[in-house]
Amino acid sequence: MATTPEAAGVQRTAKPTLNSIARATGVSRQTVSNLLNDPDRVAEPTRTLVNDEIRRVGYRPSAAARQLRTRRSHLLGFRMRPSGDGINGSIHDRLLHALTARAHERGYSLLVFAAADDAAEIAAYQELRATNALDGFLLTGTNHGDLRSDWLREHAIPFVAFGRPWGREDAATSQVHDWIDIDGGAGTDDAVRTLAAEGAARIGFLGWPEGSGAGDDRFDGYLRACRALGLPCDLVERVEDGFENGAEAASRLLARGIDALVCVSDSLALGALAQMRGSGREELMAHLVGFDDTPVARAVGISSVDQPIEEAARRMVDLLVHRIEHPDSPPPQNPVELLSPTVRRRSPANTY
Amino acid sequence: MATTPEAAGVQRTAKPTLNSIARATGVSRQTVSNLLNDPDRVAEPTRTLVNDEIRRVGYRPSAAARQLRTRRSHLLGFRMRPSGDGINGSIHDRLLHALTARAHERGYSLLVFAAADDAAEIAAYQELRATNALDGFLLTGTNHGDLRSDWLREHAIPFVAFGRPWGREDAATSQVHDWIDIDGGAGTDDAVRTLAAEGAARIGFLGWPEGSGAGDDRFDGYLRACRALGLPCDLVERVEDGFENGAEAASRLLARGIDALVCVSDSLALGALAQMRGSGREELMAHLVGFDDTPVARAVGISSVDQPIEEAARRMVDLLVHRIEHPDSPPPQNPVELLSPTVRRRSPANTY
DNA sequence: TTGTATGCGTTATCAG
DNA sequence: CTGATAACGCATACAA
């Protein structure tokens, strides 16, 4: 890689270091260090002098050296999940992006890693923690009896989850660990009420099989609203996620007579939409609500429950950073938080 | 952080280090180091002795210390792009996942960062390179006169792009920098031929406005195939990406009389599909081809050009790692590579 | 084959 | 308010 010196006029100087700028300004090395970490400790004459030199040479502290000394990497771990359906997966993408942005604002970076299953994820924690000294982890997709959170807690590793610790009676308020979640039940509740206010009397529910935390939660919201409104609450189909399944289940619901439909995902909603059209029940298309407000729903014009992902990401990072930087002071914000989603009302594109 | 010693029975031992396991086994510190970096240099009796101890205490080398010494972080940078349309965005997600997995196999991790535009991305390179000592970068979405690649090249920072250096006559073979790309033109070419073989005579093209590398490339493929086949090649609409735009443009194409349609994205294809149905031209839906083979296309049953993203990711990582670890030996693989996509033929779900 | 010395860039401790 | 000294964990000549 022998670059001829004259060829690179721009920046042929060696990488600036604490030492080099100390020499250049005639102060000692730790004065420079102090200036960076605790500016008030250094008096005015030297302060600007050193500051100017720092800017002049474009000095940036070495994360490795700092990490070696402070045992902090300023790195947060995030596991990449397989794209899955992809329609709903876009929300994962959105979360990652929001987390990255917020972490950056707080002086942290995200280290992403792939893991096939939860066991592999735990192994990754261990490895990343030991070698790369990750300061904490951001979890997604918590499920019943989640092994990951247990492991992390046992090892006293800071983390915050997107999703409640499901499977506990007190899931919605449980403080077994820090978490931020979206109140899915409130979303379906709201959807039912919106539909009912528009005149729907037989509102169907198209959800996931019993057993998934988020799915059950959304089902509960449907139940709650229908009962409160005195509407039938047995127009229910619960199937695995996916377009095809949505279409099939919707056809059964259609046969039983519904005049509106709430779905727990946009994949299912899209399938239902197709079924409605296929069955010549186009008038129902405007009374269909999906979940996640994915780009597909926006494009096709399906109403959907919009989750405040960016807000959730902000809180997750803030909470985690607090746990890392002030391990034994209580966080300024609630360590468990249920955020409310919003129903985005729209009607299928007229051409569609 | 005062944890009572007796409370934590599990692992109260200090973090194992090169020194600690050297002491425990009675050898010197660098013997242990050697064992790790060049196992052959240490003789059999000691080898297993030390190895056992390493496993016993679960020793893992400190990345920070190693990085400080070797000036290598084993970290690769990847910029998160805004989700955008989201339909097409899922391919970005897929790429990131594949890159992460391959990097892991090669002993590297991905550091993701957010940047609003290319200028911010360059600033991020500089910062991440200086502080976190990233070994290299993975670029996506190269465009005409890309500033990022120029900057990286000037600063001799290893990188590989997903996308050609557009805007050069020799884009398809240009070696101005390492890149892997999908041969979009081959994809549309293939799509046209497939459609023609099935009897289509007036094949339309729904693409992006002139000026985007990938878009022009795909248009070229269409042109090439139509001319070779003696088919009209002027049934063209070029609009900004999106469902609505796709629907509108498709209606114009429909009016001009087409019997098949090739689109440069699944968003556009989905819009076109809607338009076809809305216009009572359902028979055309089976002769529609999108691009990227996104989950939406799979769900709805739109044919689509599938890009070998995983393959591309594998090559990108391998190439970049080679550049990092063997800066002046030529890479074993071609530093620029055009991968062929595959047309996934399907027909719209019958219920849809 | 194994051990000794030294330095990577930073922060912490404790003098002056 | 400033500066000397030590240490973080590892790798790399070099010497034995």
- A53 in a structural domain: no
AA letter at A166: W
What are A152-172's pLDDT values in tens digits? Answer: 999 999 999 999 998 887 878
* pLDDT of amino acid A86: 60
Q: How far is B110 from chain A (nearest CA, A)?
A: 6
- A121 in a structural domain: yes
B77 touches chain A (CB under 8 A): no
Range of the domain at A153: 74-182+309-339
Nearest CA to A62 among A99, A112, A23, A20?
A20
Q: What percent of chain A has pLDDT over 70?
A: 93
**Within this chain, do residues B290 and B206 fall inside the same structural domain, yes or no?**
yes
**Within this chain, do residues A240 and A294 fall inside the same structural domain, yes or no?**
yes
Would the CB atoms of A109 and B132 count as touching at under 8 Å?
yes
- A287 in a structural domain: yes
DSSP calls for A241-288: SSHHHHHHHHHHHHHH--SEEEESSHHHHHHHHHHHHHTT-GGGGGGE
Helix axis angle, A29-37 to A18-25, nearest 10°: 110
DSSP calls for B243-305: HHHHHHHHHHHHHH--SEEEESSHHHHHHHHHHHHHTT-GGGGGGEEEES--HHHHHHT-EEE
**Within this chain, do residues B96 and B152 fall inside the same structural domain, yes or no?**
yes
* pLDDT of amino acid B19: 87
**What would the two tokens of residue B244 be?**
């609505």
AA letter at B333: Q
Would the CB atoms of B299 and A349 count as touching at under 8 Å?
no
> In this model, does residue A88 exceed pLDDT 70?
no
Q: Which residue has the higher pLDDT, B347 or A66?
A: A66
C-alpha to C-alpha distance for A85 and B121, rounded to whole angstroms = 30
**Within this chain, do residues B292 and B324 fall inside the same structural domain, yes or no?**
no
* pLDDT of amino acid B144: 87
**Within this chain, do residues A102 and A189 fall inside the same structural domain, yes or no?**
no
Q: Measured between CB atoms, which of A10, A15, A114 is closest to B104?
A: A114
**Within this chain, do residues A150 and A223 fall inside the same structural domain, yes or no?**
no
In chain B, residues with a C-beta closer than 8 Å to the C-beta of A154 are: 10
Q: Measured between CB atoms, which of B83, B267, B352 is closest to A274?
A: B352
A245 touches chain B (CB under 8 A): no
- A61 in a structural domain: no
Q: Measured between CB atoms, which of A60, A63, A68 is closest to B65?
A: A68
Q: Quick check: helix, strand or coil at residue A204? A: strand
Mean pLDDT is lowest, of A245-254, A265-274, B7-16, B159-168, for B7-16
CA–C1' nearest nucleotide, residue B70? D11
* pLDDT of amino acid A173: 80
Nearest CA to A206 among A265, A285, A273?
A265
Q: Which residue has the higher pLDDT, A229 or A141?
A: A229
**Within this chain, do residues A102 and A124 fall inside the same structural domain, yes or no?**
yes
**Domain containing residue B118: CATH number:** 3.40.50.2300
pLDDT-derived band at A300 (thresholds 50, 70, 90) equals: confident
* Stretch A139-160: mean pLDDT: 93
Q: Quick check: helix, strand or coil at residue B205? A: strand
**A159 touches A320 (CB < 8 A):** yes
> In this model, does residue A44 exceed pLDDT 50?
yes
C-alpha to C-alpha distance for A247 and A269, rounded to whole angstroms = 8
AA letter at B305: V
**Within this chain, do residues A178 and A313 fall inside the same structural domain, yes or no?**
yes
Residue ranges in chain B whose pLDDT is less than 50: 1-12, 350-352
**Within this chain, do residues B210 and B267 fall inside the same structural domain, yes or no?**
yes
For residue B110, give the DSSP letter: E
Would the CB atoms of A100 and B112 count as touching at under 8 Å?
yes
In chain B, residues with a C-beta closer than 8 Å to the C-beta of A73 are: 64
Nearest CA to B149 among B175, B172, B115?
B175
Q: Which residue has the higher pLDDT, A194 or A84?
A: A194
Please report, rounded to whole angstroms, the spatial distance between the CA atom of protein residue B30 and the C1' atom of nucleotide D16: 15
Task: Count chain A–chain B contacts defined by CB atoms under 8 A.
Answer: 191
**B254 touches B276 (CB < 8 A):** yes
Q: What percent of chain B has pLDDT over 70?
A: 93
C-alpha to C-alpha distance for B60 and A114, rounded to whole angstroms = 20
- A36 in a structural domain: no
Q: Is the CB of B29 under 7 A from strand C?
A: yes
Q: Measured between CB atoms, which of B90, B94, B349 is closest to A247?
A: B349
Residues 6 or more apart in contact with residue A260 via CB below 8 angstroms: A195, A196, A198, A200, A202, A203, A204, A284, A287, A288, A289
- B292 in a structural domain: yes
> In this model, does residue A257 exceed pLDDT 60?
yes
pLDDT-derived band at A57 (thresholds 50, 70, 90) equals: very high
B153 touches chain A (CB under 8 A): no
- Which B-chain residues 16-45 have CB contacts (< 8 A) with chain A? none
> In this model, does residue A330 exceed pLDDT 80?
yes
Q: Please, what's the b/e burial string for A12-50 (b: 16 or more CB within 10 A of its CB; e: otherwise)?
A: eeeebbbebbbebbebeeebbbbbbeeeeebeeebeebb
A111 touches chain B (CB under 8 A): yes
- B51 in a structural domain: no
B328 touches chain A (CB under 8 A): yes
Q: Is the CB of A348 under 7 A from strand C?
A: no
* pLDDT of amino acid A12: 46
B154 touches chain A (CB under 8 A): yes
C-alpha to C-alpha distance for B43 and B17, rounded to whole angstroms = 21
**A108 touches A135 (CB < 8 A):** yes
Nearest CA to A207 among A142, A146, A272, A163?
A272
Number of domains in chain A: 2
Q: Which residue is nearest to nucleotide D12 (CA to C1')?
A: B69
**Within this chain, do residues B135 and B218 fall inside the same structural domain, yes or no?**
no
**Within this chain, do residues B80 and B117 fall inside the same structural domain, yes or no?**
yes
**Within this chain, do residues B265 and B189 fall inside the same structural domain, yes or no?**
yes
Q: Which nucleotides of D are covered by protein (CB under 7 A)?
A: 1-5, 7-13
- B157 in a structural domain: yes
A79 touches chain B (CB under 8 A): no
